[in-house]
Chains A and B, each alone.
Chain A
Amino acid sequence: MTPSLETRNLTIRFGGHVAVDSVSCAFVPGTLTAIVGPNGAGKTTYFNLISGQLKASAGEVFLHGEDLSSLPAPLRTRRGLGRAFQLTNLFPNLTVMENVRLAVQSRARLGLNLWSIWSNHRELLGKAEEVLEMVALADKRDVAASALPHGDQRKLEVAILIALEPEVFMFDEPTAGMSVDEVPVILDLIRKLKAERDKTILLVEHKMDVVRELADRIIVLHNGALVADGEPEAVIASPVVQEAYLGVEVKA
């Protein structure tokens, strides 16, 4: 199958430190790729380069063959790159509903509509409600995002990404800091996305059991470089991972 997203020699330097080091990788629709690596390996930074939050020092990002490298983040989002953040990143004083609806509205390209009444857009409301049901936040729709407990904020973070309906989903440790009984909701969601078969899913995850269950493929980043790539079992068994990643994992 032809890849949707592709990075070629993607690199960023912070001063002398190379945080992402010439990463070339292609991602295919219908595949969930887990990105693993120790803390500080450059996983989040790699996402930031793809979605445009950071500007690459070198290399390119392609979506369906189109070079997105010179586009700012909002335009990459509009092309179909969707991003959930490792550090929860919400609109704190807006309600849960408003947070999600802003994503639905962006998807519907209604942002520059100055004259209709926002609360009259039933279609946005319906869509947003649907997403809130999916993450089990429907009963908290009128609560301000900042008033939610941590686990619910993580769910909202994911809900916003789902509401955006991107083609490429980038999850950055979506279950980090969640309680055990909240995790399955998120994992179910990711399974559902996988089942749709036309989505490209990138998942940064530290929990090896989750990776083993969900991933079709694993890539390993270490000191910013891509050091392993392949079938989950093979990658996990490879010496480079045992040493570079699992070694650290055991210590952590």
Chain B
Amino acid sequence: MLRSVLSNDFPRSRVLTALLVVIVLGLAFAPFLFPGAKSLSVAAKILVFIVLVASYDLLLGYTGIVSFAHTMFFGIGAYGIAIALARLGPTWGAVAVGVVTGLAVSLVLSFVIGLFSLRVKAIFYAMITLAVAAAFQTLASQLSDFTGGEDGLTFKVPEMLSPGFSLAEEPFLGASLDGKLISYYLLFFVAVALFLVMLRIVNSPFGRVLQAIRENDFRAEALGYRTVIYRTLSNVLGAGFATLAGAMLALWLRYNGPDTSLSFEIMLDILLMVVIGGMGTMYGAIVGSTVFILTQSYLQDLMKLASGGVAHLPAVGGFLSALLSPDRWLLWLGVLFVLSVYYFPTGIVGKLRTRALGGTRRA
């Protein structure tokens, strides 16, 4: 049963298994374990990024395709929901229209980009995707009648998901049973399902061909695999899952604009999350997104504490507290990531798996 759900791709490290169980349980019970609007938003963001980062891992980690257009597909999903709900009103029908339209646009676009440009060298492909993504971003802010331009679109979601909706008067285990809670669990179950589907895809015969192409596309061709077809399909799948992640984000935020789903900063974040978690592992998406988003969200708070703590130290206190001032959080985030990439080039998952292997060999 578990073997089939996880597609026979187990974490293969006890520490990693424990880490994943903690993360998944933490996310599953987040509304009760970490009450408060901010922590729930952080948890929801982690859910969205697990799907987004896993879809990028399918592309980069498994197929070896470097694309900078991933946030474009993320944005298409978010705009699909935003535009559909803003125009058609807050109904489930509009949600369906938004998801289906977003998916259709992404699939066609990724298919065309893939087919026409996956034959070129990796570096040129990366540049082409960069150009397409930049063009799309400009387009999205220009078509302001449609997309809300730079301001984006604020919209209402189906009643059941809106904060005003309440299932019961009384809070349950400290969490109020409202539309936010329902939205959170909608996100949670969709994220789990999408992740497991991606895990299955990378462990299918098709998934192994993707890895073969990443390793040696010339030999994959000689074996009878037409790499253009596989690369294009991988591109289309990655784009499709990114689109669904975008739809999740928009439903949660009840807002979408260029900065929330299209910005190049998000693209860099995704890259970092994949690398920190471990490329080509799928589980890296869970670990990477969680570590990254937690750090991003709480580093400032942590630094405020630390900065206050060292302020009274003689001599170096002033200097240290300036260095630890919350305004420097971006600097520290950078340092943290450089260090983690330096010490874990194969990501956290890769590191833990290698350690587990070493352990059994010594035993």
Q: Do A and B bind each other?
A: yes
Q: Which residues of chain A have a CB within 8 Å of any CB of chain B?
A: 51, 53, 72-75, 77-78, 83, 85, 89-94, 98, 101-103, 105-107, 110-121, 160, 164
Whether B222 lies near A89 (C-beta < 8 A) is yes
Question: B226 contacts which of A75, A93, A94, A102 (Cβ < 8 Å)?
Answer: A75
Q: Please indicate which of the listed interface residues A83, A98, A115, A160 has the most CB atoms of chain B within 10 Å of its own CB.
A: A115
Residues of chain B within 8 A (CB-CB) of A93 are: 215
Q: How far is the CB of A77 from chain B (nearest CB, A)?
A: 4
Q: A89-B216, A89-B219, A102-B209 are in contact. Are A113 and B224 (CB under 8 A)?
A: no
B230 interface neighbour in A51, A77, A111, A116, Cβ under 8 Å: A111
The distance in angstroms between the C-alpha atoms of A75 and B227, with both chains bound, is: 11
**What mask results when residues 289 to 316 of chain B are scored 1 for a CB within 8 Å of chain A, else 0?**
0000000000000000000000000000
Residues in A with CB closer than 8 Å to B206 are 111-114
On chain B, which size bracket covers the interface?
20 to 34
A75-B223 Cα distance, complex, nearest whole Å: 9
Q: Nearest Cβ distance between residue B223 and chain A, in whole angstroms?
A: 5
Our pick among B207, B209, B215, B220 for the contact of A92 (Cβ within 8 Å) is B215
**Bound Cα distance A113, B209 (Å):** 10
Residues of A close to B215: CB separation below 8 A? 91-94
Neighbour of B224 across the interface among A77, A114, A120, CB < 8 A: A77
Which 9 A-B pairs rank lowest in CB-CB distance, beginning with the nearest?
A77-B224, A91-B215, A106-B224, A110-B205, A114-B206, A113-B205, A74-B226, A106-B223, A119-B8
Q: Which residues of B contact A120 (CB under 8 A)?
A: 8
Using Cβ atoms and an 8 Å threshold, which residues of chain A touch B142?
A: none
Closest chain-A Cβ to B179's Cβ sits at a distance in Å of 35
Shortest CB–CB separation between residue A117 and chain B, in angstroms?
Answer: 5
Cβ contact of A90, chosen from B4, B219, B224, cutoff 8 A: B219
- Contact assessment for B224 and A118 in the assembled complex, using a CB-CB cutoff below 8 Å: no
Chain B residues whose CB sits within 8 angstroms of the CB of A111 once the complex forms: 205-206, 209, 225, 230
Asked whether A73 lies within 8 Å of B200 as measured between CB atoms, the reply is no
Q: In the complex, what distance in Å separates the CA atom of A74 from the CA atom of B204?
A: 20
Known: A91-B211, A113-B205. 12 other contacts (CB 8 A): A51-B222, A53-B222, A73-B222, A74-B224, A91-B212, A91-B216, A105-B205, A106-B225, A112-B205, A112-B233, A118-B207, A164-B224
Residues facing A in B192-228 (CB within 8 A) are 200-201, 203-209, 211-212, 215-216, 218-227
Contacts of B212 in A (CB 8 A): 91, 94, 102
